[in-house]
Amino acid sequence: TYVVIDNCIACKYTDCVEVCPVDCFYEGENMLVIHPDECIDCGVCEPECPADAIRPDTEPDMDDWVEFNRKYSEKWPVIITKKDPLPDAESRDGEAGKREKYFS
């Protein structure tokens, strides 16, 4: 599976949702997640993210992000259409500690 990681938080560009063939992105207030059981591992979303926030779970230390994506994809609504990014997307791209700030 692919997963969304912390740099999506407070950016939420949503370019990713337009390319997913199985519509497995889910939208929270501040970020999106991927449903790990619905993702077919096609990889087409990864290069579409301007914030480089999509990763394959084959990278090191991704188990925690898979669980995070699973948990919130079961709570949040599906998103299939691109929308405007969050207002501070550009300035907050790359900011440290976003997960701690929003999800602890």
Q: Which residues bind ligand F3S (CB under 6 A)?
A: 4, 8, 11-16, 32, 48-49, 51, 53-54
Pairing of strands 2-4, 32-34: unpaired
9 binds, among ligand SF4, ligand F3S, none (CB under 5 to 8 A by kind): none
Min. distance of Cβ 21 from ligand F3S in angstroms?
15
Q: Provide the mask over 11-50, with x wherever binding to ligand SF4 is found by CB under 6 A and - wherever it is not.
A: --------xxxx-x---------x----xxxxxxx-----
Lookup: tokens for 94: 């790359």
Q: Which is nearer to ligand SF4, 41 or 59 (by Cβ)?
A: 41
The whole-angstrom separation of Cα 38 and Cα 35 is: 5
Residue 73 φ/ψ region, left for φ over 0, alpha for ψ in the -120 to 50 degree band, beta for the rest: alpha
Nearest in space to 48 (alpha carbons), one of 34, 61, 62 = 34
22 binds, among ligand F3S, ligand SF4, none (CB under 5 to 8 A by kind): ligand SF4
**Using rule CB under 6 A, residue 53 touches ligand SF4:** no
Instruction: Report which secondary-structure segment, H or E, holds 18.
Output: helix 15-19
Strand pairing partners for 73?
none
Binding site for ligand SF4 (CB under 6 A): 2, 19-22, 24, 34, 39-45
